[in-house]
Structure 1
């Protein structure tokens, strides 16, 4: 999470090379944030390890309906243009945060399973997401909001 800050742009290519999926988050109350999504997709397409990485577009701050600038239809149309999933969240109120992560992980796992079946059709399928990730642990990770905010890159 670099919050779109220009000073971190040089770091992104190193992280993009190893990533298998991206949660591309924009602020539903900020037009510039939404406009920059197109640039981030371009960066992903340029630096990612594969042309077919999984991306989930996340419109954050859905709890601020009175301040909303980007309509759900506009964001959904944008996501369709790039053939990516779209979900709205509120990190503050913990709305759809786990669902956004699961949506990305499901997409990644489906792609891995598909790729594995194409290359080695006789091997067992990859375990389901629920077998790999303890759902309760994932939900607990996001169940409580930290008292202070922080920024980190994974």
Structure 2
């Protein structure tokens, strides 16, 4: 249901925000991915998968949860995990809780590969994102983005 307020045209400032955010959401991942490729590191999708696994208890996540955490479809995550599995960075094991699903588990080799890729990722994120946010604005920008993400 739309309210009357929902149908009010955007102000110039609101329109500028929507366009800038849309552009950032498109160009930032691409720029970081390109930097990772130039540094001969993992693609961003694989880096993020390993990162989330490294932060999970036991370095293990159910495939569907991992897909959701990475904002990917289950089939997309399955393809990424299959590539990582081929390189020994991740392994898949049956979910002990119900025996139907699969868990992705970060291997020691995968954790080491993540650590190797981390400097390139950090440098890229700093250059393309963090260097453009004043320290005084960092907490405010973070809160606003978290609030926006939670509302979706």
Q: Could you tell me the TM-score, scaled by structure 1's length?
A: 0.29
Q: Which structure has the greater CA radius of gyration?
A: 2
Structure with higher helix content = 2
Q: Could you tell me the TM-score, scaled by structure 2's length?
A: 0.29
